[in-house]
Amino acid sequence: MSADAQKRAAAEFALKMVINGATVGLGTGSTANYFTEAAAAKVKREKLDTKFVPTSQTTYALAQKLGMNLVTIEQAPFLDATVDGCDEFDSSFRLIKGGGGALHREKIVASSSKFMITICDASKQVETLGAFPLPVEVSKYGVNATSWKIERALVHLGYKDPKMSIRVNAQGKPFITESGNPIIDIKLGKIDDAEKLDGYLNNTPGVIETGFFIGICGVVIMGTDKGVVELTRA
Ligand code: 5RP
């Protein structure tokens, strides 16, 4: 089964979160798009009264085109569930997210939900986080100053050769998130101390959001060659 088919299968499996009367967060990315499409079809088919909170303009546009009942996080600050993709997850249900640059809103919405369910293909399961560069959203003001402070913290934590890069868009200009901020991607290879590193990053002036989702996700629904696997955090 291709990665795309695995993503689609995981998205369809997560449809059980779409129930009458619920408010559900919609993630961002290709896997989340499959979920949005499948959720819209289910709501129509079963005539459900389900509200959705999109985590980005892209997801908003897709969901609106599909005629979904959309509300903002301000209108619905307590959600029943959020279903979103991830870039990596480990056996402790720690995620790296933000490959699509929506980490700030995704984290606000996911952490406001009773359940966060991540949906993914099998390539996202890792033993140790870090092969995927960790996105860190930072203030535009003082971006280089924030960058050297992060680098100093990384060296202090024992990372020998952190590769830091300010994300650029297709035009080669700095990528700016919907919250108006640049992203620094940090390639570490192996992250053994995610909680500690997250703490250091969150204490660095200028850091707005890290791509670590720790203690937020309770269920992983993963498409594999052998079918869909559902993992639940103990
Ligand atoms: C966007 C994200 C995405 O969920 C993550 O990048 C996974 O994307 P995809 O489903 O396309 O593989 O965090 O900010």
Which atom of ligand 1 is found nearest the CA of 99?
Answer: 6
**Which residues have CB under 6 Å of ligand 1?**
27-32, 84-87, 97-103, 106
Extract the tokens encoding 186: 């940090």
Mutation probe of ligand 1 site: the residue of 6, 7, 26, 31 with most atoms within 8 A of C-beta: 31
What's the CA angle centered on 119, arms 28 and 19, to 5 degrees?
A: 85
- Whole-model pTM over 0.85: yes
Kindly name the residue from 12, 106, 137, 209 that is annotated as catalytic.
Answer: 106
Mean pLDDT, rounded, of the chain: 97
Ligand 1: residue whose CA is nearest its atom 4: 85
For residue 110, count other CB atoms closer than 10 A to its CB: 26
Extract the tokens encoding 11: 């998205």
pLDDT score at 234: 83
pLDDT score at 1: 87
Measured in Å, residue 206 CA sits from the centre of ligand 1 at 24
pLDDT score at 38: 98
CA dihedral sign, ordered 137, 138, 139, 143: negative
The answer for 96, left when phi > 0, alpha when psi is -120 to 50, beta otherwise, is beta
Q: Fold identical between 3-126+214-225 and 134-207?
A: no
For residue 158, count other CB atoms closer than 10 A to its CB: 8
Contact between 34 and 50 under an 8 Å Cβ cutoff? The reply is no
pLDDT score at 105: 98
Mutation probe of ligand 1 site: the residue of 87, 136, 178, 208 with most atoms within 8 A of C-beta: 87
Ligand 1: residue whose CA is nearest its atom 1: 100
Q: What is the pLDDT of residues 202-217, one digit of tens each?
A: 999 999 999 999 999 9
Parallel, antiparallel, or unpaired for β 88-89 and 163-166? unpaired
Domain 134-207 is classified in which CATH homologous superfamily?
ACT domain (3.30.70.260)
Contact between 103 and 180 under an 8 Å Cβ cutoff? The reply is no
Residues paired with 207 in a beta bridge: 138
Tell me if residue 178 is catalytic: no
Domain ranges of the chain: 3-126+214-225, 134-207
Contacts of 214 (CB under 8 A, 6+ apart): 94, 95, 194, 195, 198
From CA 186, how far away is CA 176, in angstroms rounded? Answer: 16
Alpha-carbon radius of gyration of the chain: 18
Which CATH number is associated with domain 3-126+214-225?
A: 3.40.50.1360
pLDDT score at 161: 86
Backbone dihedral angles phi then psi of residue 33, each to the nearest 5 degrees: -60, -40
Measured in Å, residue 30 CA sits from the centre of ligand 1 at 7
Going residue by residue through the chain, which has 234 residues, state the pLDDT in tens, using 9 for 90 and above: 899 999 999 999 999 999 999 999 999 999 999 999 999 999 999 999 999 999 999 999 999 999 999 999 999 999 999 999 999 999 999 999 999 999 999 999 999 999 999 999 999 999 999 999 999 999 999 999 999 999 999 999 999 889 999 999 999 999 999 999 999 999 999 998 999 999 999 999 999 999 999 999 999 999 999 999 999 998
Task: Give the three-state DSSP class for 25.
Answer: strand
Contact between 94 and 212 under an 8 Å Cβ cutoff? The reply is yes
